[in-house]
Structure 1
Amino acid sequence: MQKLGLTGTSKHQTDDQMKGISAVLMDGDEVFVDNGAIHAKSRIELGIQFVKSLTEVPNPRRVIGLWVTLKRFADGMGYSGAMPFELWIDADAKLGYKKLAEQVNSMDKAVRGTVDLSQLTDAEIEAFASFLRQTRADLWEHAAEGFRSAFARAESGT
C-alpha cells in the first residue's frame, strides 16, 4: 500500500499549512504519490528541461497532478482540498511544459480547502477517487463533505 506522506517535519522551513499537502500524479493508467512535485522534483520532472510553450515539446504526453490536503476535523484527520494541475512531458526529448503560476495557485487553493475538479474527466476523477479511498480509507471516511461530493460526480455520471 502506498503511503500518503506529509511534507512537514520539524526541520522543514515552511508554513504549517503546507505540512498537510501531498501530490498525487496520474501518468497514463498509473496513479501514485510523489511529493517531490511540491518542489518541482517529482520522478517525472527529473531530467526534464521545461520550456515556455507547449509547441516546443515534440511529443507531449499529459500527466495530471492533484494537490491533496489534509485537515483535522472533529471526527479525525481527513481529506480537505483537491486541485488539479497538468504537466506535458516528452521523456525522449527530455522536454516538458507546465504553467508554474497555475500550479502554485492550485496548490494554494488546495491548502485553503478548495476542491475543483472541473478540469478533469469523469474517468480521471474516478481514478483519483479510487486511489485515495484505497490508499487511506480513514482519510476518505473523515473527508470534508465538499471533498467527497466533488469526487461523487464521476460515480453519478453528472
Structure 2
Amino acid sequence: MQKLGLTGQSKQPHASDDQMKGISAVLMDGDEIFIDNNAIHAKSRVEIGVKFVGSLEEVPHPRRVVGLWVSLKRFEGGMGYNGVHAFEMWIDSEAQLGYKKLADHVNAMDKAVKGKVDLSLLSPDEVQKFATFLQSIRPDLWENASPAFREAFSAV
C-alpha cells in the first residue's frame, strides 16, 4: 500500500507559512497510478534524466503522463481531500526528452493548495481511475472530502 504523504502538519521546528506541506502528486503513467511527491520539485520518477524542451514537436515519441495535485484540509469530520487540479506532461524516456508547461504545473499546484477543483484535462476514464485509486489508499480522506472534490469525481 502506498502512503499518501499528506499530513497537514509541518515537521519544521519553527512556524512558517508552508502551504506545500499539504500537497501531494498522484501520477498516471499508462495503466500505472502512483504517488510521487518528488513531482513537487519537478523530480518525479518520470522526470528524472529527462531534458524538458520548449515545444511538444521536439519530443520524438511522447507519451502522456497525467497527474493530480491533491491537497488536504481538516474538516469537522476529520482530515479530508480538499483541492485537486489536473496537470500533464509528455515524456519520451528513450530520447530522454519531455515537454510540459511549467507555469501550468505551478498554477495548478497553487489552485489545489487553495482548495480549487479542476479535472478538465482528464477523460472520464482517467477521472474514474484516479477516483478508485484515491478511495483505495485512504478511504477516510475520501469520506471526509470537500463537497466540490467529491462532486468533481462523481461527474463522470
- TM-score range (shorter-chain normalised) is over 0.9
What's the secondary structure of 2:117's corresponding residue?
coil
**Shift of the alpha carbon at 1:13?**
9.8
The equivalent residue for 1:91 is: 93
TM-score, normalization by structure 2: 0.94
Q: Distance in 1 between matches of 2:16 and 2:94?
A: 35
Q: How does 1:1-158 map to 2 (within 5 A)?
A: 1-6=1-6, 8-10=10-12, 15-154=17-156
Residue identity over aligned pairs, in percent, reads 66
CA distance in 1, matches of 2:14, 2:2: 22
Letter in 2 for 1:81: G
Q: Kindly state the Cα deviation for residue 16 of structure 1 after the two structures are TM-superposed.
A: 2.6
Large movers: runs of 4+ above 6 Å: 11-14
Unaligned runs of at least 5 residues, structure 2: none
Partner deviation per Cα, 1:4-38 (whole Å, 9 max, x = no partner) = 01385317997332111000000001000000000
Distance 1:121 1:147 in 2: 17
Segments of 5+ residues of structure 1 without an aligned counterpart are none
Q: 1:87 aligns to what SS in structure 2? A: strand
Specify the SS of the correspondent of 2:130: helix
- Separation in 2, partners of 1:2, 1:28: 18
Give the CA deviation at 1:119: 1.6
Tell me how many residue pairs correspond in the alignment. 154
Distance 1:136 1:28, change over 3 A: same
1:12 & 1:104 partners in 2: Cα distance? 25
